[in-house]
Amino acid sequence: MNHENPHFDLFGIGFNPSNILMLFVTCLVVFLIAVASTRRLQMKPTGMQNFMEWVMDFVKGIIKNNMDWKTGGRFHVLGITLIMFVFVANMLGLPFAIVWDHELWWKSPTADPVITLTLASTVVALTHFYGIKQLGIGGYFKTYFQPIPFLAPLKIIEEFANTLTLGLRLYGNIFAGEILIGLLAALGASSVFGLAGAVVPALAWLGFSVFIGAIQAFIFVMLTMVYMAHKVSTDH
Amino acid sequence: MLDTFVLLSAEADAGFLASLNQRLNLGDIIVTVVFFTILMVLLKKFAWGPLMGVMDQRAQLIATEIEQAEKSRQESAKLLEEQRALLKEARDNAQSIVEQAKKQGETQREELVTAARAEVNRMKESATLEIATEKEKAVAAVREEFVSLSILAASKVLGKEISEEDNRALIEETIVKAGEGR
């Protein structure tokens, strides 16, 4: 269970090649799924196109729950990409983990706090960007004093808390899931009795992890749109 | 922990970035953001954009289809009403035609009957007239014959020459009397 992470330095900046590999695989899978399903677009959708349109409508529903479509429409692409990316990333670590020379190479990229916090920070940075763009500098700063002025410090703390919880929630769920899968796999590999004992909980936990992965992807996008709505709309 | 902070603040100016780099996978952050951005741009170009286009197109198509369906429904309702009115008119027309024909037939029948009756009457009258003249003629002829026969018989019976002229008047008178007496 005690894995090291692979590491190399380039231009004085540290990289984790495992993360890079897994991010690339995630991007590739998402891209292939998306392009394969929009290969032959038809007026009367069939098969994969139906699924993709369902995803689009699903994200559209999330956005519409939080803001009106006129301001929210521009986040549609971000939302679809994010939900597909996070979901695929969550799924990648489920079937197996690959350890090479005590270095963990194959895992969910979202089981790394650096990546989830980067995604969360990017999202929160985008909310600030669009908040300023939508309301102007004055309007943007005014939101900090909006309901009651003396709560402004709390609102500033909230921004950091949002970022942290958004990233760490995802990381915690996926990382914990992978730890437990790893433990069950180790138990199954230990002996015949271990295998007998581990089969049922491992299957159950795998199924549950798929569920968690989907739910976490949904929550991530949902919260992204909630934070975005807080920043871009004036009626909150 | 405190040591690191102290250490960090001590080297804050000189090797801050290097020190941060030792603890933080700065490269991963950059790679994550770059990969995600590239993915988003690529997907927008190759997948989401066209898909959204098709969905919008479909929405438009459906809207126009609904509009057209509504229009054609109204049109067909109008046509149906028209047809119904036409049918009613035709039925009325037919009925009036039938009635008229019936009436015409009736009058024609009546006419024919009266004409036939008149013809019959006329024919009957002419027949009676003819019969009457024929009878007259026959009576006259018979009378003539009778007279000459009577004269012949009388002359044979009497054996005596009587002046035909004298007796004829007498006999004719008798015969007329006899005819009347009959």
Give percent of chain B with pLDDT exceeding 70: 82
- The answer on pLDDT for B88 being more than 90 is yes
Whether the predicted pLDDT of B9 surpasses 80: no
Here the tokens at position A226 are 């909630």
Sorting pLDDT into bands at 50, 70 and 90, what band is B121? very high
Chain A residue at shortest CA distance from B32: A115
- Of A10, A12, A119, Cβ closest to residue B32: A119
A72-86 pLDDT per residue, tens: 788 888 888 889 889
Please list every residue in chain B whose beta carbon sits closer than 8 Å to the beta carbon of residue A38. 46-48, 50-51
3-class state of residue A90 by DSSP:
helix
Grouping H, G, I as helix, E, B as strand and the rest as coil, residue A146 is coil
Report the pLDDT value the prediction gives residue A95, as an integer from 0 to 100: 75
Task: Please classify residue A23 by burial: count the beta carbons closer than 10 Å to its beta carbon, then call 0-12 exposed, 13-18 middle and 19+ buried.
Answer: buried
Of A14, A30, A52, the CB nearest to B21: A14
pLDDT of residue B28: 79
**Res. B12: pLDDT tops 60:** no
Q: What is the mean pLDDT of residues B78-96?
A: 95
What's the DSSP call for residue A9? E
Residue B96's pLDDT band (cuts 50, 70, 90): very high
Give the model's pLDDT for residue A215.
92
Q: Classify A233 as helix, strand or coil.
A: coil
B158 token code pair: 């009497």
**Residue in chain A lying closest to B46 (CA):** A35
Cα(B174)–Cα(B177) distance, rounded to whole angstroms? 5
Task: With CB atoms and an 8 Å threshold, state whether B51 touches A38.
Answer: yes
What is the 3-state secondary structure of chain B?
CHHHHHHHHHCCCCCHHHHHHHHCCHHHHHHHHHHHHHHHHHHHHHHHHHHHHHHHHHHHHHHHHHHHHHHHHHHHHHHHHHHHHHHHHHHHHHHHHHHHHHHHHHHHHHHHHHHHHHHHHHHHHHHHHHHHHHHHHHHHHHHHHHHHHHHHHHHHHHCCCCCHHHHHHHHHHHHHHHHHHC
Instruction: Provide, as residue numbers in chain B, all residues whose Cβ is less than 8 Å from the Cβ of A14.
Output: 21-22, 24-27
Question: What is the reported pLDDT for B10?
Answer: 47
Count CB neighbours of A216 within 10 A. 23
pLDDT tens by residue, A91-125? 887 776 677 666 777 888 888 888 888 889 999 99
Say if residue A228's pLDDT is above 80.
yes
Q: Say how many CB pairs under 8 Å bridge A and B.
A: 106
* B182, pLDDT greater than 80: no
What ipTM describes this predicted complex?
Answer: 0.80
pLDDT-based confidence at residue B1 (cuts at 50, 70, 90): very low
Mutation to test the B interface, candidates A16, A19, A110, most B Cβ within 10 Å: A19
Residue A178 has pLDDT above 90, yes or no: no
Q: By the 8 A CB rule, do A210 and A47 touch?
A: no
Mean per-residue pLDDT for A24-49? 82
Q: Is the dihedral of CA B41, B47, B53, B59 positive or negative?
A: negative
Domain borders along chain A are 57-96+108-232
Burial of A30 (0-12, 13-18, 19+ CB in 10 A): buried
* Higher pLDDT, residue A135 or B78: B78
Touching check for B62 and chain A: CB below 8 Å? Answer: no
CB contacts, 8 Å: B61 with chain A = 43
> What confidence score (pLDDT) does residue A145 get?
79
Tokens 């028209």 belong to: B82
Q: How confident is the model at residue B23, as a pLDDT? A: 66
Residue A45 has pLDDT above 50, yes or no: yes
Question: How many whole angstroms separate alpha carbon A28 and alpha carbon B41?
Answer: 13
Residue A77, amino acid: V
Q: What is the per-residue pLDDT across B38-77, written as a single tens digit (0 to 9) for each? A: 888 888 888 888 888 888 888 898 999 999 999 999 999 9
A76 touches chain B (CB under 8 A): yes
B31 inside 8 A of chain A by CB: yes
Average pLDDT, chain A: 83
Which whole number is the average pLDDT over A169-193?
Answer: 84
**What H or E segment, with its residue span, contains residue A10?**
strand A8-10
Q: What predicted TM-score, i.e. pTM, was given to this entire model?
A: 0.67
**Contact status of B59 with chain A (Cβ, < 8 Å):** no
Domain extents in chain B:
2-181
* Residue B3 CA, distance from chain mean position: 107
Q: Please report residues of B whose CB lies closer than 8 A to that of A35.
A: 46-47
Q: For residues A145 and A150, what is the distance between their CA atoms, to the nearest angstrom?
A: 7
pLDDT for res B6: 46
Distance from CA of A219 to the nearest CA of B (A): 18
What token pair was written down for B75?
A: 């049109």
Write out the two tokens for A192. 């015949």
Cβ contact B31–A19 (<8 Å): yes
